[in-house]
Amino acid sequence: MAQLTFREAIARGIAQEMRLDESVVMIGEDIGAAGGVFKGTVGLLEEFGPRRVRDTPISEQAILGAAMGAAMTGLRPVAEIMFADFFAVCWDIVVNEIAKSRYMTNGQMTFPLVIRSGNGGGLRFGAQHSQSVENWAMMIPGLKVVVPSNARDVIGLMAASIRDNDPVIFLEEKALYSSKMDVPEGDIVDTLGTAKVLRQGTDATLVALGNMVPRALQAAEELAEMGIDCTVVDVRSLVPLDTKTILRETSATGRLFTVEENPRLCGWGGELASIVSEEAFYDLDGPIVRITTPHIPLPAADALEDMAIPSIERIVTTVSKSMNS
């Protein structure tokens, strides 16, 4: 057992797969000698060399164009887009080429491609470098979308993503890069499309993603002191989505609260609310409540950013008010 930070787990997960499969390569800006702008690829250039770990110019379109071509011709590339906000620069390649080409070739080509990126706010980077874009990716047919919340899951889900024959958007929460946890030695391989129940309760179900998972867990502990016992579910994978686990845990408590960092309009929690309303309506004891970031550009000012992103205090206040109304 070793204690790893979230960013160290990224490098370990990629290295695990690169050692097992010569076709796994990395491509991106400053991922080589610099070890990544968020230090998520430290040591990979030294171990695997410049043939398999390739630095690129500052061009998101070039990075993904090259990665798509590599995937089409037998490699399994891991491409880095530094900030998830920058998907806007290369979204045409993602949406109209990478996501659709396996379908449009009737499966004659596969696209085993992972696109990883720093996602979310909390670090005072401002409106153009702090967006949570998981809902952008979730809506595109042909893409898988993964958002881990801890170091162990980073390794296992990275391995599963690299081994998958479909393109995977792998979003790394920037606010979690320095978080630590004990991680077992040896190879770790997880399964896409599986949520995890991190805490079992009887009164309400909190469903969270990425950086909102540790906040939901802490909020659940504070709510327990107030007499409200909460289940906490880590979604982990938006596509495929583990509706079975979410429906089961919601039906068990009768109350559902989603905790989302993305802006409220068209956020992933709205889709969950729709699914639960259709498939478990008569198991609900009250309205589904979404705890989200408002539909605004994220501020850079400390107090304003903290007010916008769901906090432990806001989760506790919202759940307790709803449960006691």
For 106-127, give the DSSP string.
Answer: TTSS----EEEEEE--SSS--T
For 265-318, give the DSSP string.
Answer: TT-HHHHHHHHHHHHSGGG-SS--EEEEE-SSPPP-SHHHHHHHSPPHHHHHHH
89 CB neighbour count, 10 Å cutoff: 14
CA nearest to 234, candidates 318, 292, 162, 153: 153
Catalytic residue among 7, 54, 76, 129: 129
Distance of alpha carbon 144 from alpha carbon 115, whole angstroms: 10
36 CB neighbour count, 10 Å cutoff: 23
Distance of alpha carbon 276 from alpha carbon 251, whole angstroms: 9
**Residue 266, amino acid:** C
Structure tokens at 239: 């596509």
Residues 6+ apart with CB under 8 A from 105: none
Distance of alpha carbon 12 from alpha carbon 308, whole angstroms: 33
Q: Is 129 a catalytic residue?
A: yes
For 206-249, give the DSSP string.
Answer: EEE-TTHHHHHHHHHHHHHHTT--EEEEE--EEETT-HHHHHHH
Structure tokens at 244: 């079975």
| Residues acting as catalytic residues | 129
